[in-house]
Amino acid sequence: MKYILPIVMALTILSGITFAITPWALDYFFPFKENVIRDADSEVAEDALGRWFLSPNANFMDVEAARQQSKVRSTAWFIFKVKRDAVERFIGSKKLKQLELNEEVMSTTFHSNTPPRDWWQPKALTRTSYFKGVDQGRELALIYNADTQQGALVTTIAAIPIKAAGQTIQPKE
């Protein structure tokens, strides 16, 4: 009976040390692959766009999606076909602003960190304006061609800065 308490204390201390060391050990042996672009299943992307556009019955078609995540930011690209009313509802609900689409915006917003996928061709939509805004900290940029009912959406969200002892610590790029 007199050995139970020391054994329980030793197990508790060892489990605490193990839980404290595990994240560093996992990161060392299985590092997080940054900047890997992952394709999304088209059905899952359709459902996600339907919920996000507040149009579960919008009937998204030909959806292609990819996502890139790093310690600094997460970016997602979507190409889709949908009727105009769903896009109008999305623009209104997210309070997106219509801006002029020029080569600089095309290269900085739609082609920076571009996924190396054949389907990502926002320039093919041949528009002179795009919609931009912020929704819950996520930057949104949308090009939509009402004639062909095709759209291209880019979303980017930055990592949340860490606050420690009254200081803001930004993640390194």
**pLDDT tens digit sequence for 32-45:** 666 677 778 888 88
Is there a single domain that holds both residue 86 and residue 102?
yes
Residue 20 lies in a domain: yes
The reported pTM is 0.69
Is there a single domain that holds both residue 11 and residue 81?
no
pLDDT by residue (tens digit) across 51-63? 878 776 778 888 8
Is there a single domain that holds both residue 86 and residue 150?
yes
Residue of higher predicted confidence among 122 and 32: 122
Q: How far apart are CA 30 and CA 61, in angstroms?
A: 37
For residue 172, what pLDDT band results from cuts at 50, 70 and 90?
Answer: very low
Q: What domain range is 12 assigned to?
A: 4-31
Domain count across the chain: 2
Residue 48 to residues 81, 96, 129: CA-CA distances in angstroms?
Answer: 14, 19, 25
Residue of higher predicted confidence among 100 and 34: 100
Mean pLDDT within 136-161: 84
Is there a single domain that holds both residue 106 and residue 147?
yes
pLDDT-wise least confident of 1-5, 10-14, 61-65, 68-72: 68-72
- Helix (H) / strand (E) element for 103: namely helix 103-105
Is there a single domain that holds both residue 23 and residue 106?
no
- 97 has pLDDT over 60: yes
DSSP state of 161: P
Is there a single domain that holds both residue 119 and residue 45?
yes
